[in-house]
Structure 1
Amino acid sequence: MTATNVETTRVVRTSWLPLIVVVLTQIQASFAVNALTVSMAGITTDLDTPATSVGTAITAGTFGMAAFILLGAKIGSRFGTRGVFQIAVVIHGLAMLGVALSVSPTMLFIAQASSGAVIALIAPALTVFIATNYHGEQQGKAIGLLAAAIPAAGVLALLLAGWFANTIGWRWSFVLMVGLALINLLLSFRLKRVPAQPGLSIDWAGAILAAIAVILLSFGFSGLATWGVVLATPQAPFEVLGISPAPILIIAGLIVGQAFFMWLRRRAHEGLPRIFDLRVLATGSERAVTACMATMLFVGTAANFLIPLYIQVVQGRSSIETSFAIIPYTLSIFLSSTFVAYLYGRFAPRVLATAGFVVVASALTLLAFTVRGEWSQAFVVAGLILLGLGQGAIVALVFNTLLSAAPKQLAGDVGAWRGLVHNLSGSVGIAVASAFAVGILASSIATSAAEHPEISDELIAQVNLDEVNFITNEALAELLATRASGPELDAAIAVNAEARLHALKISLLSLAAISLLAIVPATRMPRQRAGDLPEKLEPDDDDLIDPVDEQEALG
């Protein structure tokens, strides 16, 4: 090979174009969740639906991805990553168009669920593009920028979606994503083809079991707030002896999930291909990484839902005001996920993770005790920044640690597992936070109303506490206009305002407690191991897999 050819090869291999496609596509995939959160006020008004319905739509998208992420990784490798990626980008763009054209909460739910399902094909491809184009130090930087693209999408959504919602309308945020999908499709033709792997078999039965388990969990957790945590509410689609369908579906999902893992163990024992290789979780240290990942994503997404909910619904702020209020939080996630890699050589992952969870718990506690009526208070802003720093560092750390600890030949399964845990934990976090906050709200209203003599027993009897939700003072005044007036109406509004703040504080303190519990698995995280990702992230059926030693992993 001549010197000119060597130089040409080097330039092609180190081109940043694939990374540009990766980052832009990650922004496309992550933008919707943040845009929905910021546009909550406009959506609830436009579609005449409560704020928790927006949380349900967000949950639908993330659960949709979680349901098919294991299958998505295999399909891309089996039939060719670039071609599958291009088809998925187009479908995702159409789903975003569906969100923009939504005329009902059901249409919003379906469009968002569809976008999540197709992201299951997009997400694994991004890791493949990095592995096939970058090596050594450049690969490490590319992985870090991929992780940073998620909070970057959050910042972009806060600015653009907040501005659009306050000016031309919230729907234009998703029209913008349709345009970005077109750009990503065109740029993707500049990427080199990744050969298909005809020697890779797909475990369709395992994929179906995983999808059924996640879908059952999806409907179960997303229905907690509206269908009832234990007893069925009038909004429940069905009931069993008065029991809400939500816990029934959750239990059914857990049973199917257990069947899924039994199926994987059986296939492994027989030496047959499976949709997910359990050697990714072979050691206790690797399972500890998963526990840390799940906990941080649960806490982070729950907090990311509660904060805009309070600003827009409780304080009655506009979407653009909400955007500026939480930009420090999102920027701190971006910065910490980008620069935490520089600490890997100085501190063990278990030290960084433990410190991260302490920072997150401290931030949530600070928020719980200092939040009042304004987000501009110094302590509140400091709490949001601390929360973002801890969250961003942990999310980037756990993915890189699991990627380095698992056998290199299973890097594709690591990426798929990360996507499954990321979306499942995040969706559960939103659903549980919503149900928990609404439950605390209803309890606080019932207790406080009974302590106010200005509020008559007749008015209390007319309020169905099973249907209590977060609404603004103006909306409550309109709702009670024909039932109360004067001092009674003023007292009812005051009770509701106090209960909303109390529910937020208790929810934040509960998340802080969960963060502290995660310190236990954090101390079991393995050390970082050097080495590049292989260009073939999904092994063929007859490829050998490196063993992993527990003591070596722990160092």
Structure 2
Amino acid sequence: MASSPAAAPTAKASWLPLIVVVLTQIQASFAVNALTVSMAGITTDLDTPATSVGTAITAGTFAMAAFILLGAKLGSRFGTRRVFQIAVAVHALAMAGVALSQSPAMLFIAQASSGAVIALIAPALTVFIATNYRGDQQARAIGLLAAAIPAAGVLALLIAGTFATTIGWRWSFALVVALGAVNLLLSFRLKVVPPQPELSIDWTGAFIAAGSIILLSFGFSGLASWGTWLATDQAPFDVLGLSPAPILIVLGLIGGQIFFTWVRRRQTAKRSRIFDLRVLATRSELAVTACMATMLFVGTAANFLIPLYMQVVQGLSGIETSFSIIPYTLSIFLASTFVAFLYAKFAPRVIARSGFIVVASALTLLAFTIRGEWGQFFVVAGLILLGLGQGAIVALVFNTLLSAAPKELAGDVGAWRGLVHNLSGSVGIAVATAFAVGTLGTILYASAQEHPEVSDELISQVNFTEADFLTDDQLAAVLADRATGPELDLAIEINAEARLRALQISLLGLAALSLLAIVPAGRMPGRRSGDLPEKLEPDDLDAIDDSVDEKADAGENATITKDVS
């Protein structure tokens, strides 16, 4: 589609809608960050392993990803503001459930419920920006929406970290309930986005999408506990000794292929569909999605591994962990906020490539300099570099994807952004946890074999395939009936060294993945489109539909080469 002529200067819109958008994003993101920071208190209070907190986090994000495409259509059908208000209220109630949790199961259910209603919130935030802001004001609004996530992280580090150390971790989620009430009241001052009662919802497509993501969620979440390949004792079932985790992942991937085939056919027939493929109409938009998915996978995995190591391995308190990683979270916020100033000078592909190189360099620096303490200069510098690269890329890819789509597809763009954000982040946590735990078990076994001081009897009693990150005190309690004296001290020393090496190897793996993302980053647009187009022109709609038809007939994914931005 041809670029719109330069628009005449327009009066700046009120920032009230953006305030509601940012506060709501903080409400949703603060809850996840508070779980991470409160890990030590939750594990003690609910008598559960630290990895179960990661399971609760992924439960919420996978639930959000499963229903977000449907959430976008429900907002369009019944009115964005009305659906948004209901979702904000239900999310606050779910956070009350987290605050009152008395068991890991209750925590899991409450967090999953909160994720399901965020599926209604996320598309609405994008619609509010698209309908209220234009031009430079719109670019800044998108940057601030992206920055709201790390801002919530900073607040969680300060507030949740302090609460976890003083009055208790539950009060952090009580605060989210109060913030939900404020957002609900402010939302009544937003202008009503007219509903589309004639909109037909593709329930079959929604069911296929949700089912596929649920299969993926259980599969990836079970990698660490059920076994990556062979089933462990914790697996609910096995198939010829194989873990159900990879089986569910394969089924989920097959379901994803079925989903895109279904949507493509309905788009060819010009029927309603749960997701509009015009959001991904060009190769550059597919490249943007790949960059978004990779960065969120890497960033979320690193954001989980670092607090895990600090609290479980080093034994730091919630507030100590908070202050240790504030430079990282603050740098994400600053990069997300100010990357918009680079749009006029550099193409998206240049910024994205540079960002991934910075991220890979930061993770490599961390892997080679991290020791028992986090205070040394190179570790702090690595965290800051990681945050700058991550923040710039996340804001850039969302802005690039949104600016290329017509305003009428803003809900679909928001839904796609939320799906990729949560699915990639959840997979990042699950895969990083499984990889780190598997690496830990391998290193522990090899180290035990290398030390003759460790008896063969002790080695035979320990199941290295089910290793987990334990503090020195927890390990001493586990081995109390199996080892004493010098042998116990040596086992604790071996475990400490294995924990550090497992973290270093995991960070290097994430660095390698970041470097691989340079390839799709090179396929991002060579220029950034400006304001959202009001609508697609008829000629462009025909070109897209014809191209989708041709791809569908050839049995290929709809990767249209014509740049319609």
Q: Note the C-alpha offset of 1:371.
A: 0.1
Q: Counterparts of 1:251-330 in structure 2 under 5 Å?
A: 251-330=250-329
In the alignment, the residues of structure 2 paired with residue 71 and residue 481 of structure 1 have an alpha-carbon distance, to the nearest angstrom, of: 52
| Alpha-carbon distance in 1 for matches of 2:386, 2:134 | 32
Partner of 1:19: 18
* Partner AA of 1:349 in structure 2: P
- Deviations 1:254-306, CA, capped at 9 Å, x for gaps: 11111101101111111111111112212211111111010000000000000
1:481 Cα deviation from its structure 2 partner: 1.6
Matched residue type, 1:327: I
CA distance in 2, matches of 1:547, 1:168: 60
Instruction: Provide the TM-score with structure 2 as the length reference.
Output: 0.93
Structure 1 residue 194 corresponds to structure 2 residue 208 = no
The 5 A counterparts of 1:110-509 are 110-509=109-508
2-side partners of 1:177 and 1:20: how far apart?
Answer: 16
- Secondary structure, aligned partner of 1:103: coil
Q: Which amino acid aligns with 1:364?
A: L
CA contact (8 A) 2:404 2:532 kept: no
What is the SS of the residue equivalent to 1:317? coil
In 2, distance between residues paired with 1:389 and 1:544? 37
1:407 Cα deviation after fit: 4.1
- Aligned amino acid, residue 362 of structure 1: S
Report the alpha carbon displacement of residue 410 of structure 1 after superposing the two structures with TM.
2.1
* Separation in structure 1 between the aligned mates of residue 341 and residue 381 of structure 2, nearest angstrom: 23
Contact 1:407-1:545 within 8 A present in 2 as well: no
Residue 406 of structure 1: how far off its partner (Å): 3.3
User: What residue identity is the alignment partner of 1:376?
Assistant: G
- Name the SS for the 1:320 alignment partner: helix
Shift of 1:337: 0.6
Preserved CA contact (<8 Å) 1:96 1:175: yes
Q: For residue 27 of structure 2, what is the aligned residue in structure 1?
A: 28
Secondary structure at the aligned position of 2:435 is classed as helix
- The aligned residue for residue 528 of structure 1 is 528
CA distance in 2, matches of 1:149, 1:546: 38
5+ long unaligned stretches in structure 2? 1-9, 545-559
Give the TM-score taking structure 1 as reference length: 0.94
Query: Structure 1: which 4+ aligned runs deviate by more than 3 Å?
Result: 406-409, 542-554
For 1:57 and 1:182, locate their aligned partners in 2 and report how far apart those are by CA, in whole Å.
24
Per-residue Cα deviation, 1:459-489 (whole angstroms, up to 9, x for no partner): 1111111321001011111221222111100
Q: State the distance in 2 between where 1:486 and 1:317 align.
A: 26
**1:76 matched to which residue of 2?**
75
Amino acid in the other structure paired with 2:431: V
Cα deviation digits, residues 176-199 of structure 1 (max 9, x gap): 101111111111111121111123
Cα distance 1:208–1:123, how it changes in 2: closer, same or farther (>3 A)? same
Is the CA contact (8 Å cut-off) linking 1:100 and 1:172 kept in structure 2? yes
Cα distance between partner residues in 2 of 1:483 and 1:315: 24
CA contact (8 A) 1:131 1:533 kept: no
Rounded to whole Å, the distance in 1 between the matches of 2:542 and 2:346 is 26
Tell me the SS of whatever aligns to 1:83: helix
How far apart are residue 550 of structure 1 and its match?
Answer: 4.0
**TM-fit CA distance, 1:552:** 4.5
Asked if 2 retains the 8 angstrom alpha-carbon contact of 1:206 and 1:263, the reply is yes
Q: Could you tell me which runs of 5 or more consecutive residues in structure 1 were left unpaired when the two chains were aligned.
A: 1-9
Distance change in 2, residues 1:432/1:114 (3 Å):
same
Conserved 8 A contact 1:353-1:522? yes
Count how many residue pairs are aligned between Structure 1 and Structure 2. 539
The Cα of 1:49 is off from its aligned counterpart by 1.1
Deviations 1:477-514 (Å, cap 9, x if unpaired)? 12212221111001000010010001000000000000
Partner amino acid, structure 1, of 2:280: L
Q: 1:103-145: CA deviations, max 9, x gaps?
A: 1111111111110110010111111222222223222221211
Deviation at 1:317, TM superposition (A): 0.4
Task: Report the CA distance between 1:76 and its aligned residue.
Answer: 0.6
Counterpart of 1:7 in structure 2 is none
Q: C-alpha separation between the residues in 2 aligned to 1:216 and 1:46? A: 30
Amino acid of the residue matched to residue 296 of structure 1?
M
**How far did 1:454 drift?**
1.5
Aligned-pair CA distance for 1:220: 0.3
CA offsets, 1:156-195, max 9 Å, x none?
0010010000001111100110111111111111112111
The alignment's C-alpha RMSD in Å is: 1.8
Rounded to whole Å, the distance in 1 between the matches of 2:46 and 2:533 is 46
Shift of 1:413: 1.3
For residues 533 and 22 of structure 1, the distance between their equivalents in structure 2, rounded to whole angstroms, comes to: 21
Q: 1:211 to 1:468 in 2, by over 3 A?
A: same
- Aligned equivalents of 1:261 and 1:375: distance in 2? 45
Q: Structure 1 residues 543 and 346, CA, compared in 2 at 3 Å: closer, same or farther?
A: closer
Cα distance in 2, alignment partners of residues 317 and 287 from structure 1:
41
Offset at residue 551 of structure 1 (A): 5.8
Could you tell me which residue of structure 1 aligns to residue 6 of structure 2?
A: none
CA distance in 1, matches of 2:421, 2:478: 39
| Kept after mapping to 1: 8 A contact 2:367/2:507 | yes
- Partners of 2:423 and 2:144 lie apart in 1 by 23
Q: Aligned runs of 1:57-68 on 2, under 5 Å?
A: 57-68=56-67
Q: Partners in 2 of 1:419 and 1:219 — Cα distance?
A: 19
Q: Percent identity?
A: 78
Tell me, what secondary structure is at the counterpart of 1:162? helix
Q: Which amino acid aligns with 1:82?
A: R
| Corresponding residue for residue 98 of structure 1 | 97
Secondary structure of 1:289's partner?
helix
- 1:27–1:150 Cα contact (<8 Å) kept: yes
Kept in 2: contact 1:409–1:545 (CA 8 A):
no
Post-superposition Cα deviations, 1:364-387, rounded to whole Å, max 9, x if no partner, equal: 000000000000010000000000
Say whether the 8 Å CA contact 1:411–1:533 is kept in structure 2: no
Deviation larger for 428-437 or 237-246 = 237-246
Partner of 1:39: 38
- Partner SS for 1:424: helix
Change (3 A) 1:182 1:490: same
Q: Deviations over 1:293-345 (max 9, x none)?
A: 10000000000000001111110100000000000000000000100010011
CA distance in 1, matches of 2:409, 2:130: 13
2:272 counterpart letter in structure 1: P
Aligned equivalents of 1:133 and 1:279: distance in 2?
22
Cα distance in 1, alignment partners of residues 274 and 353 from structure 2: 32
